Amino acid sequence: MGRHNLEYPKNVHNTVKRYNHQADYSLRTIHTIINTSPILHVSFNPPSSPFPVILPLIGQMGSFSHPSADLSSPLDIYLHGYVSSRIMNLSRSSTGSEPPGLPVCVAASKVDGIVLTLTPNSHNYNYRSAVLFGYASLVEDVEEKLYAMELITNSVVPDRWRNSRVPPNAAEMSSTQILRVKIESGSAKVREGVPTDERGDLEDDAVTSRVWTGVVPMYEVLGDPVPGPYNRIEGIPEHVSEWRERVNGEGREYALEAAEKDAPVPGKKRVGV
Amino acid sequence: MGRHNLEYPKNVHNTVKRYNHQADYSLRTIHTIINTSPILHVSFNPPSSPFPVILPLIGQMGSFSHPSADLSSPLDIYLHGYVSSRIMNLSRSSTGSEPPGLPVCVAASKVDGIVLTLTPNSHNYNYRSAVLFGYASLVEDVEEKLYAMELITNSVVPDRWRNSRVPPNAAEMSSTQILRVKIESGSAKVREGVPTDERGDLEDDAVTSRVWTGVVPMYEVLGDPVPGPYNRIEGIPEHVSEWRERVNGEGREYALEAAEKDAPVPGKKRVGV
């Protein structure tokens, strides 16, 4: 069995109950959704508050000990933050605890289309969503911190790191903090395909002759780059234009394909994204 | 002072510490970000788990007692879910507690552009993000439940409710559950504008002559509607085409304007979105 079949074990915390034919536990699926999301939502519990807190952060799956590991391998998630933020302080103070680190949930979701059906109840999205559960602690090692900073920068725009002013200076290194989350479990849900409705509505001429059904694809677009006030470079550098072209092509293509696929069949296991 | 100036009171849970010149506590700003987000991330604490859980849900700000209240008014948030999901069961069992309901955090984030600067450390997004903290309980009243179902359906596609098969039948009413979150506090962060860098880099010719700086606008697009396999309606209905036109125009326009605005100045309070 190839590594691409590795799955997170199911337990009470990560098992998907609703529409579980759309559930996916493969590392490749989950890690791909996390890595292609421009924003991650990270939840933690601050002390002395009844409410969990959600922070929008950027991050990326990675492995400092095996940097060439692919997305179907066991990986950590590295999150980028500011040194004095609450989640950083809590992670610092949890470092000596057992298990070490702050319990967090990391979520990423992407809407690929609006699925318009006969009745509001069966309306849906084509979407990809993933959650990971793990323990966050501060990266103290300078080499690992630089590895993660480069990983995260290049996840926003490929190859941006060496196309900007690096290495970070002392002030930048001390104001930036990186969290490493050791993953305990995770799951994904993916919906793609045409609308589905209940038989009662499908057989009701008065309904089908009145209600439009179909999918409106939804995708993110990177527009024409707008040079800043102190930019001195003519034209758009290759690493920026290539990235735009790829993101714009892939996003549109995925959403259009998802809109035309056969409807998901309950009980039939989907193939990962 | 008009109602548009209403703000959530600052406290230890919602006060923004990092880049606090980008913080906004006005109800209008926060509620607008929530209402224009196709997916909300909702966090809660299941019993006997160390990890908070994040669920992607759809939802909308509303007021059943004052349905015409605008976005600068105190509002609840209604969330749509499945009757037997864990968050619904926990909210049901929390209904008799004091304060009543399950403590939740609701977050919405939208990236409007990638801000490419001279050094990775000053890279940024133009973005809008909001969080709300409150207590979730089940909507038991049938009229309020129908109000919320229509509100949420029409938030996905304006006017979709009456353009589909309504009212919901008994099976649909019993399988759908609506959560009402009474809001305790909230905050928003908004970043818009051109890149900013540190003086040291701006004055370094070797850096400014090599590194492209600017903003790549990012916005969501609704593609051409794809009729489903059992659709019998010719053409695209007006409520769908008008919605597409508006969303596509507004998203692009916002991202382009954000890319060209003056950089945010620390200490200067921004005007809400």
Q: Per mean pLDDT, which range of A79-83, A133-137, A158-162, B117-121 is the poorest?
A: A79-83
Residue B167: partners with Cβ closer than 8 Å, 6 or more residues away: B146
Which among B111, B161, B210 has CB closest to A120? B161
* Better-scored residue on pLDDT, A266 or A220: A220
Quick one: closest CA in B to A115, which residue? B228
Q: Are B141 and B37 in contact (CB under 8 A)?
A: no
Do B119 and A226 make contact, defined as CB atoms within 8 angstroms? no
Q: What average pLDDT is seen over chain B?
A: 91
Average pLDDT of B71-76? 96
Q: Per mean pLDDT, which range of A9-13, B27-31, B240-244 is the poorest?
A: A9-13
Which among B43, B207, B231 has CB closest to A52? B43
What are the CA-CA distances from residue A96 to residues A102, A202, A208 (Å)?
10, 59, 62
Which among A164, A172, A226 has CB closest to B211? A164
Indicate which of A39, A118, A121, A250 best probes the interface with B, i.e. most B CBs within 10 Å of its own CB: A121
- Which architecture, in CATH terms, is A3-260? Roll (2.30)
Q: Are A16 and A22 in contact (CB under 8 A)?
A: yes
Cβ neighbourhood burial of B75 (10 Å; 0-12, 13-18, 19+) = buried
pLDDT in tens, A64-76: 999 999 999 999 9
CB contact, 8 Å: A56 with chain B? yes
Residue B12 DSSP symbol: T
ipTM: 0.93
Query: How far is Cα of residue B22 from the mean position of the Cα atoms in its chain?
Result: 17
- B236 by DSSP, 3-state: which? coil
pLDDT in tens, A73-90: 999 999 998 777 788 888
* Residue B119 pLDDT: 97
pLDDT in tens, B212-255: 999 999 999 999 999 999 999 999 999 999 999 999 999 999 99
| A2 band by pLDDT with thresholds 50, 70 and 90 | very low
- Residue B80 identity: H
Average pLDDT of B110-134? 97
* Residue B95 pLDDT: 66
Residue with tokens 């490419």: B116
Interface of A with B in 2-31 (CB under 8 A): 12-13, 17-18
Do B256 and A226 make contact, defined as CB atoms within 8 angstroms? yes
